[in-house]
């Protein structure tokens, strides 16, 4: 057994050795688990709220884009194009427009399906539809309100300019 001071080589190697029998106590493990649980409990409501805001924005942008699509279609074909909303089922259709997926039938969007999972709360167009003329102008102004949970977005269509905006 050595009684003198350790050499530099011995000190270098001893720094990287872990003493046997050391580990975490039950108290340390429980404390770390509780801290992680508290952070998770704070993050979940914020995450679900952010997800609702994102889905509401996504649904509003889809409705606005499809109103613009109907307007462009009417201009390019010089024929009227009607967008009909069904509030009860949260669906809308663009008449005379073929679906983009290549299927036959009418272009229909169901906002209750992923990724939107939204509801159409209200439509202020008379008879819940708007028709774009061959010049791309809507026959009336109006709004469409979509919601995901407590998050609501309003899509506004200006009758004079045909401009679509989201609030």
Q: What is the pLDDT of residues 27-47, one digit of tens each?
A: 999 999 999 999 888 877 777
Q: How far is CA 78 from the centre of its chain?
A: 34
- Cα 143 from Cα 128, distance rounded (Å): 10
Looking at residues 37-62, what average pLDDT do you find? 88
- Cβ 123 vs Cβ 105: under 8 Å: no
Q: What is the pLDDT of residues 78-135, one digit of tens each?
A: 999 999 999 999 999 998 888 887 788 889 999 999 999 999 999 998 889 999 999 9
Report the CATH superfamily, name and number, of domain 31-166: minor pseudopilin epsh domain (3.55.40.10)
- Cβ 73 vs Cβ 94: under 8 Å: yes
Q: Does position 50 have pLDDT exceeding 80, yes or no?
A: yes
Q: What are the residue boundaries of the structural domains of the chain, listed by start?
A: 31-166
Percentage, residues of the chain above pLDDT 90: 66
């Amino acid at each position: 057994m050595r009684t003198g001071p350790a050499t530099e080589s011995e000190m270098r190697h001893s720094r990287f050795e872990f003493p046997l029998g050391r580990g975490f106590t039950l108290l340390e493990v429980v404390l770390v688990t509780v801290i992680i649980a508290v952070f998770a409990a704070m993050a979940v409501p914020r995450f679900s709220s952010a997800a609702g805001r994102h889905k509401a924005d996504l649904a509003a942008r889809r409705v606005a884009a499809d109103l613009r699509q109907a307007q462009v279609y009417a201009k390019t074909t010089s024929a009227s194009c009607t967008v009909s909303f069904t509030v009860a089922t949260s669906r809308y259709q663009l008449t005379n427009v073929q679906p983009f997926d290549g299927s036959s039938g009418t272009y229909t969007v169901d906002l209750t399906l992923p990724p939107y999972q939204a509801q159409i709360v209200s439509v202020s167009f008379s008879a819940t539809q708007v028709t774009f003329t061959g010049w791309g102008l809507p026959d009336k102004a109006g709004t469409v309100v979509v919601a995901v949970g407590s998050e609501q977005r309003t899509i506004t269509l200006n009758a004079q300019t045909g401009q679509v905006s989201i609030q």
